[in-house]
Structure 1
Amino acid sequence: MQQALTAPEPPPERPGRPRRRGRTTLLIACAAVLGAVAGVCTGYVVQAGREPDALPPLAQQSVARAKSGKAPEPLSATRDHRVRTDGDLRKLLVQRPAGTQKADSAQGWLDQYGYANYYEEPDEMFADLSASRFRRAALSAWEKGQSATEVHLIQFRDAEGLGSRDFLSGQQGYMPQNAWAGTLGEPIPGSADGRVYVFEKPRTKAGYLPMYQARALAARGDIVMDVWLYDTKPIPKKTAMDLAERQLERL
């Protein structure tokens, strides 16, 4: 896809690193915690000066036990989200459409270093991914004619924070400032915060065909999906939205 005048230039570099939350957010959170602690202490002081209340009579109903004595069966993947997302992340990637061929780019698993290299400043992205507790990523990419598509699933360790939401908000916040995107995007149905961006301007370079782009960003659980579409002709919003919805349904 790199022949001059007949094919587009290589896919452009990704936008810069996601923005971190400011110190203001942290200060507000600390103030909220201190306020809660002060309220609890006041409650203990008031309670200490009161007469103890009489305890109600015991009236607990007996709990029926399973006659078999066996432990309950674990929830299936359809009922427990973590069963599905803690498994093979590659199986959650949307299937490659019929009539397309695998791209030459890496397929399957991406470690933190490999994923950071998709950005303009990989060193800074690597540090930000560490701060957001990056866990793993998976990639599927395909081509058809002059078009190319890449689907990334990036999973974070959200137990001690919401790194997935930090990453998502950082990337979405960048899109209106992108020289070619310049758009707030369209909401993805079924997603609380997902959006599809059809870039307003194509990337151009002397000796190459114009490169049109679209992007979809959304999060579900601790996984962020990042979908990129490239073509030498304008990309319909419906094409990008349909792919985004199909990928979101798999998460």
Structure 2
Amino acid sequence: MPNRPPRRRGRTALLIAAAAVLGIVAGTATGYAVQADRAPTPLPMLAQPGLAYPAKSLPKGKEPEPLSAEEDSQVRTDGDLRKLLLKRPAGARESTEAGAADGWLSLDEYARDFEEPGFMFEDLAGAGFRRAAGASWEQGEYRETEIVLVQFRPSMSLGAGSHALMQQGYMHASWRGAGNTGDPIKGSSNGRYYVYDVKREAGYLPQYRARAIAQRGDVMFDIHIYDTEPISKKDIRTLAERQLERL
């Protein structure tokens, strides 16, 4: 049997299709009309467990005690931030290199310590910079230690954590950082400490440096040690762990 050519879609098929569409539209309209004449169906009752708090306020003297500083770290960090800085070791000499003599650093003062102060000023302000406190001291002939605590306001950007990670981000580069990935700080989820390679320049004493960066809650800390003698990992690690315990 020879193959038949495909049939064309004639007028009859189009009329049948149009009638089918009209039938669907008419049926939908009728359904809406019937539904509109019916009384609304009430929704089932929502399950509501008993309230977990008392209906009346507790009598005076029966209120629960506020959380202590050990139970809520914000109790500590909302106070005088300077009191959370490590104390100057016995025998060390006081220095004011980390900022103002009263221990506070303004946003401008803190931003000026970076290679690009303008960029850092805008970045910190946008991240919710709240305040900063610093301390520094000198030991021996040339060793100097600086500690800065930077606190941020609560926000979606998690300013303290972001700032700490940004500083750690370039530490692996030898031209801007320590040239290594550092080591984790015990007790911290994101803290690391670093020992730099010695820097030598003709006519100058060798320069040794170590740094520790970590964040806890809305506060991050940045510790620097400078010396003309080698700095051990233990020296910077111990400082970092002790500072973390105070936050």
Whether the TM-score (by the shorter chain) exceeds 0.5 is yes
Alpha-carbon shift at residue 79 of structure 1 (Å): 1.9
Alpha-carbon shift at residue 74 of structure 1 (Å): 2.3
Paired with 2:166 and 2:136, the residues of 1 have a C-alpha distance of 23
**1:163 matched to which residue of 2?**
159
Contact 2:182–2:194 at 8 Å: present in 1 too?
yes
Q: Does 1:143 align with 2:138?
A: yes
**1:126 matched to which residue of 2?**
121
**1:213 matched to which residue of 2?**
209
Alpha-carbon shift at residue 104 of structure 1 (Å): 3.9
Q: Which secondary structure does the structure 1 equivalent of 2:169 belong to? A: helix
Q: Which secondary structure does the structure 2 equivalent of 1:243 belong to? A: helix
**1:11 matched to which residue of 2?**
none
**2:91 matched to which residue of 1?**
99
RMSD, matched Cα = 2.4
Contact 2:96–2:135 at 8 Å: present in 1 too?
no
- The structure-2 alpha-carbon separation of the partners of 1:207 and 1:133, relative to structure 1 and needing over 3 Å to count, comes to same
Paired with 2:55 and 2:146, the residues of 1 have a C-alpha distance of 53
Contact 1:147–1:232 at 8 Å: present in 2 too?
yes
**1:242 matched to which residue of 2?**
238
Match of 1:73 among 65, 71, 85: 65
1:69 maps to amino acid: K
Larger Rg: 2
Deviations 1:184-203 (A, max 9, x none): 0100010000001111x222
Match of 2:76 among 84, 87, 102: 84
Paired with 2:190 and 2:222, the residues of 1 have a C-alpha distance of 13
2:186 maps to amino acid: P
2:78 maps to amino acid: D
**1:172 matched to which residue of 2?**
168
Q: Does 1:190 align with 2:187?
A: yes
Indicate the structure whose relative CO is greater, using CA pairs within 8 Å and at least 6 residues apart: 1
Alpha-carbon shift at residue 77 of structure 1 (Å): 1.9
Aligned residues: 201
Paired with 2:178 and 2:52, the residues of 1 have a C-alpha distance of 63
Q: Which secondary structure does the structure 2 equivalent of 1:227 belong to? A: strand
**1:38 matched to which residue of 2?**
none
1:119 maps to amino acid: F
Q: Which secondary structure does the structure 2 equivalent of 1:176 belong to? A: coil
Contact 1:158–1:164 at 8 Å: present in 2 too?
no
Q: Structure 2: give runs of 5+ residues left out of the alignment.
A: 1-40
Match of 1:117 among 112, 116, 124: 112
Q: Structure 1: give runs of 5+ residues left out of the alignment.
A: 1-49
Deviations 1:124-163 (A, max 9, x none): 1111111111111010100012111000001111334211
